[in-house]
């Protein structure tokens, strides 16, 4: 059984929702035409109604329709390995075409005449690179009552990207969290107790400290790719006075599973805070 967040939770948890990435193994990437003349690639960046691998503390699936609004209104880039320096297309100029169908989020990209795009084409032709990923920000989602399953209902899409290594395993999440000073086992226990409605005062302090740590690794931004490529590279599109916020080369090192974990911990901390308030009142 799943529940949707109430309006106050949506505002608090997702008004500053972090930039996330999903590396999905069950995707498709190939040359559009199986001949030496093809200079376009096609495939699926995401699939619907398929549970992800363990993202550290939960699994996730994407609901059909999650990309409809952003396909219609967004300006989505195609990148190589999510590197904004290696852009291969953009919906705004028609070199990237996106659609939703029964399977998932499909795409076609007309590759530019650049050396890195030619290298990518050859790697796809040889099947050295066969999978995709996408970068997004959550607009609307729902969670199972035990907090272990998440459904993405609407997202803002920033980029699609052929990737060399698409998968992030739960064991890697544990090692990375421990490396930055987070008690992984303690966090697991706090999340389980929060889901079951068990109140321990120390859990609230633990969750807040973890939020503070993760927030330094997951910088919040309104649009991590809002850079007009036609400009000289010194300001986001439409704002010549602002500095570029480069999602790949910023000072903080951003991990896709750190972003997911941060959302999960924020929700658990809010639930615990409400439970403590009810107990006091």
Q: How many domains does the chain have?
A: 1
Residue 46 lies in a domain: yes
Say yes or no to pLDDT of 255 above 60. Answer: no
pLDDT of residue 17: 55
Domain that holds residue 12: 2-167
Distances (CA, A) of 252 to 23, 100, 169: 20, 33, 22
Residue 257 lies in a domain: no
Residue 244 lies in a domain: no
Q: Give pLDDT tens digits for 129-184.
A: 888 889 898 898 888 877 788 899 999 999 999 988 765 444 556 677 888 888 88
Tokens 């890195």 belong to 116
Structure confidence at residue 64 as a pLDDT band (50, 70, 90)? very high
Q: What is the mean pLDDT of the chain?
A: 76
Residue 190 lies in a domain: no
Residue 131 lies in a domain: yes
> How would you classify residue 127: left for phi > 0, otherwise alpha for psi between -120 and 50, otherwise beta?
left
Q: Residue 63's CB: how many other CB atoms inside 10 A?
A: 16
Residue 265 lies in a domain: no
pLDDT of residue 13: 41
Question: What is the pTM assigned to this prediction?
Answer: 0.63
Q: Give pLDDT tens digits for 218-251.
A: 765 545 454 444 444 443 333 333 333 443 333 3
Residue 158 lies in a domain: yes
pLDDT of residue 117: 95
Say yes or no to pLDDT of 204 above 50. Answer: yes
pLDDT of residue 111: 96
| % of the chain surpassing 90 pLDDT | 29
- DSSP code string of 106-162: EEEEE--SSHHHHHHHHHHHTTS--EEEEEEEEEEEEEETTS-EEEEEEEEEEEEEE
Residue 261 lies in a domain: no
């Amino acid at each position: 059984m799943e529940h949707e967040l109430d309006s106050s939770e949506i505002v608090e948890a997702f008004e500053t929702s972090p930039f996330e990435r999903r590396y999905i193994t069950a995707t498709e990437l190939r040359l559009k035409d199986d001949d030496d003349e093809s200079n376009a690639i096609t495939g699926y960046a995401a699939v619907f109604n398929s549970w992800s691998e363990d993202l550290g503390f939960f699994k996730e699936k994407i609901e059909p329709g999650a990309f409809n609004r952003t396909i219609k209104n967004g300006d989505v880039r195609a990148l190589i390995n999510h590197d904004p320096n290696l852009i291969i297309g953009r919906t705004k100029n028609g070199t990237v075409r996106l659609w939703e169908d029964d399977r998932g989020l499909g795409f076609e990209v007309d590759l530019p005449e650049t050396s890195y795009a030619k290298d990518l084409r050859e790697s796809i032709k040889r099947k050295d690179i066969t999978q995709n990923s996408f970068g997004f920000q959550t607009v609307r989602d729902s969670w199972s009552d035990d907090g272990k399953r998440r459904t993405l209902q609407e997202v803002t899409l920033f980029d699609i990207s052929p990737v060399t290594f698409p998968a992030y395993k739960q064991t890697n999440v544990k090692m990375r969290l421990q490396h930055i000073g987070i008690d992984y086992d303690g966090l697991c226990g706090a999340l389980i107790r929060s889901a079951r409605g068990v109140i321990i005062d120390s859990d609230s302090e633990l969750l807040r400290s973890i939020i503070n740590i993760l927030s330094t690794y997951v910088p919040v931004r309104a649009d991590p790719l809002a850079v007009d490529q036609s400009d000289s590279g010194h300001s986001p599109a439409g704002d010549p006075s602002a500095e570029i916020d480069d999602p790949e080369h910023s000072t903080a090192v951003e991990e896709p599973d750190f972003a997911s974990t941060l959302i999960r911990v924020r929700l658990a901390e809010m639930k615990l805070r409400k439970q403590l308030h009810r107990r006091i009142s």
